[in-house]
Structure 1
């Protein structure tokens, strides 16, 4: 999920019945704080077995944090706090030691240069093991009925069918949260498409809309991303945008290319990486697959399990996966 590079991204809140606030409060026995308003009392606490993890709003990131928090608490004996903060502010919090780690970053080169290269207050924590990709998608039933819709050059042909009350007489391109990494407004303008970007407001709201369209077998065009558990429930087909080339998204207002495939990475506060002992070593080793992340995400989003219970269920079934992380 969803990250924000120039303006997601994704970059990714729970489905309607499970609000992000409730989910985050359940991520650990210690509760969660909103980093936009306060600091965690546990971050960078010297001489104490405490860890503070940043958690983003999309469910895949919540799955990462839930499993990491559960293992830190139950296998390594740490007190874990989780804090919700948008992607770019999370880098500021990490640099200042208000959080110790970000477990799913979708690519923020400006922040990486500032904090990793220049200030040296943040260090890479290795890859998460999951590759992320943002794109435009239509429901597979619509793509099968109209195969040419999967080429962006033909989208205007279907603008009338994709029009909604919110799209101001144009076809609708449904986005999630405006805080996510998205080049969609620039893409619509620079590709001269007869579409309007409409923000649902959150991952949860976007999923609700997608599910409603699907139930009614209506056509829709949506910004979406992989990995994401919804693909297991709603078959979606990607629309081919102009090929991504290195640097084609360097100037936000001029973007006319698709999105890259991004190996998702972890980042740690520099002092925590140096002094964080078993916790820091564990977070560097934490690495799993798309399928493993989606297994936990599905339990949270579809089965409505609190994140801590979903993490417990996954940990109990997958000792062979996580045991090397805590060795």
Structure 2
């Protein structure tokens, strides 16, 4: 059949079958899928700063790139994790640069209220738990098994602990299960909060140097473990759901693949800083290196960030939005 005859035949067939097949629907114009949001200027970028040095390492590097590559005006707010989530949901803070779990807050602000979004992984893996100094493990190898902790509780007693061992916590805003674990595992311990991450690090440092016992809530990534290789105490293994009821928890902490959280409007705005934050991803070793610049070398945020960025261009160049 010649092409013109074929076209006429096809058209007649479509008209004849319209009532039965609805073939007219096949020739309706298609609506294009929405593309990415139009790129905007960065303007003011407001970032949460949470009270641990690994977070500050993320903040230093992202803040430096936002200022110097994207021409952002960066505003930093010192907040607790709970406050940061509230501010991100309200739109008064744009992003949280390192989030550890917080499933209850995710359910509320991401799933139910839809005010925030998960905004990519940081690349860091977080291991939270109870740690002891390495010299102590050399002297008492069994101390890394929770079943033996009551045998060693006497080592951690203080004049004010009522005959019980003391498990140290750092910043009071940290969300821990330690009191419930002590109760549910029937351990002869109590919790003492020293006040900050820095103070807890100093306690561990002095304990290792002076060969004095210390046990406390700690985590990796953390640059301090390159100085004093704290040893993780094995609690009953974590299984999904074992920590759902905070009053009944009797298992170790969940290991976390750390992520970032952003205000939904900011994430979808086309702001180049939103793309930078989403693309940001590095390793525990990278974070620990910047954290060490901030603490041991006492560099400013910008100095620490520039030193690391200058040495690692192959890591961060792909974080920047494409021109």
Q: Common fold, TM-score beyond 0.5?
A: yes
Distance 1:166 1:312, change over 3 A: farther
Matched, 1:80 2:74: yes
Please list, as runs of the form range in 1=range in 2, the aligned pairs for 1:178-197 lying within 5 A after superposition: 178-197=172-191
Q: Contact 1:166–1:198 (CA<8 Å) still a contact in 2?
A: no
Separation (CA, whole Å) in 1 of partners of 2:289 and 2:126: 16
> Which residue does the alignment assign to 1:128?
122
Task: State the 1:166 CA deviation.
Answer: 4.0
Normalised by the length of structure 2, the TM-score is 0.85
The equivalent position to 1:263 in structure 2, one of 257, 282, 287, is 257
Deviations 1:137-157 (A, max 9, x none): 111111122111111010111
Matched, 1:230 2:224: yes
> Which residue does the alignment assign to 1:138?
132
Is there any run of 5+ residues in structure 1 with no aligned partner, and where? 1-45
SS of structure 2 residue aligned to 1:305: coil
Structure number having the greater helix percentage: 2
> Which residue does the alignment assign to 1:157?
151
Task: State the 1:191 CA deviation.
Answer: 0.6
Please list, as runs of the form range in 1=range in 2, the aligned pairs for 1:104-119 lying within 5 A after superposition: 104-119=98-113
Separation (CA, whole Å) in 1 of partners of 2:221 and 2:171: 17
> Which residue does the alignment assign to 2:49?
55
Task: State the 1:237 CA deviation.
Answer: 1.1
Distance 1:154 1:81, change over 3 A: same
Separation (CA, whole Å) in 1 of partners of 2:140 and 2:85: 43
SS of structure 1 residue aligned to 2:242: coil
Distance 1:283 1:48, change over 3 A: closer
Deviations 1:95-148 (A, max 9, x none): 111100111000111111111111111111010000111111111111122111
Matched, 1:302 2:285: no
Task: State the 1:196 CA deviation.
Answer: 1.0
SS of structure 1 residue aligned to 2:108: helix
Q: Contact 1:101–1:266 (CA<8 Å) still a contact in 2?
A: yes
The equivalent position to 2:305 in structure 1, one of 281, 298, 311, is 311
Separation (CA, whole Å) in 2 of partners of 1:167 and 1:213: 18
Separation (CA, whole Å) in 1 of partners of 2:166 and 2:119: 39
The equivalent position to 1:89 in structure 2, one of 83, 88, 106, is 83
Separation (CA, whole Å) in 2 of partners of 1:304 and 1:168: 39
The equivalent position to 1:99 in structure 2, one of 78, 89, 93, is 93
> Which residue does the alignment assign to 1:13?
none
Separation (CA, whole Å) in 1 of partners of 2:152 and 2:204: 18
Task: State the 1:167 CA deviation.
Answer: 2.4
SS of structure 1 residue aligned to 2:155: coil
Q: What is the aligned residue count?
A: 282
SS of structure 2 residue aligned to 1:223: strand
Q: RMSD of the alignment, in Å?
A: 1.3
